[in-house]
Amino acid sequence: MEYVLTLIGQPGANAVSDKFVARAGVALDKAGARVEDTTWLAPETAADISFHDVDWTRGYESVVAELSGQPIDIAVQRPADRKKRLLVADMDSTIIAQECLDELADLAGVGAKVAELTARAMAGELDFADALRERVEMLAGVSAALLQETFDERVTLSPGARTLVKTMTSNGAVTALVSGGFQFFTSRVAEAAGFGSFGGNLFEIEGDKLTGRITGHIVGAEAKQTTLEALMAEHSIPAESTLAVGDGANDIPMLKAAGLGVAVRPKPVVRDAADVTLDHGDLTALLYVQGYRLDEFVD
């Protein structure tokens, strides 16, 4: 059976050198693989190594051991259906570099309490819905104007986010941003990054102030998976042609349901649920994982 192993580093860091590509090839050979072509996707940033005649886990583990301590992400997959037709992405700490609710709470003066609950919920230590309600309750009486201030002053796209979305869109993929956060932010982040659709929770607002309550059903782990499956059905896209990306415990069902689940600098509980874990590369790494070359990127 044929596989492709991809080595990916942080853009500009020159981490994926000829030396490390050669060492990966030797490790695969020692594991019993027959190594075929090496293809550079981006000079000193990303390279594919094709191999067969060995189980993928054995090949992967041999390369991980060989390159231990190097700032290089490693992915292994079948070459079929590599370029995905559907991208469903988490927002907080994935497409953006922040947790919006934490930033809002910080401006409102309750940042430490909210951030602690966020961290525990994302690590899977607390029920997501209960923790979300508790955090939002702490914001009761906060001016709704602080929402826009939070977005303007605190929220930034993660490196590579716009390129990821625009490149996949230009190649015909459906893209969706779905978050356990709030639509006030997902709508704006989706526009900034170029997503085709977005979803999230709704703050209840009365008299230009947050009431501390959430309107409607809570968008959590189940809703993220449901969004993925609904888009698959709507656009007749098979699971193997889908990509989901996230970092927290509430992303796990979505990551498992996708053909390729990618965890980006994830909480420990998320690592085992993902097909690929990215600790070093930016979000353009998701393009390299799909086999895109640097000269195919759309900015």
73 as an active site residue: the answer is: no
Specify whether the CB–CB gap between 213 and 136 falls below 8 A.
yes
- Determine how many CB atoms are found less than 10 A away from the CB of residue 61: 15
Question: How many contiguous H segments (helices) and E segments (strands) does the chain have?
Answer: 12, 11
Residue 88 to residue 111: CA distance in whole angstroms: 29
Sheet containing strand 73-77, strands side by side: 34-42, 46-52, 2-8, 73-77
Provide the token pair at 59: 């090949």
Pairing of strands 174-182, 197-206: parallel
Residue type, 19: K
247 as an active site residue: the answer is: no
Query: Virtual CA dihedral for 274, 275, 281, 282, nearest 10 degrees?
Result: -60
Could you say which of 48, 73, 92, 247 is catalytic?
92
Nearest to 151 by CA among 202, 115, 177, 186: 186
Element (H, E) at 87: strand 86-89
Rg (CA), the chain: 20
Burial class of residue 29 in the structure, from the number of CB atoms within 10 Å of its CB (0-12 exposed, 13-18 middle, 19+ buried): middle
Query: Virtual CA dihedral for 137, 139, 143, 148, nearest 10 degrees?
Result: -110
Residue 256 to residue 95: CA distance in whole angstroms: 19
Could you say which of 18, 53, 73, 90 is catalytic?
90
Annotated active-site positions, please? 90, 92
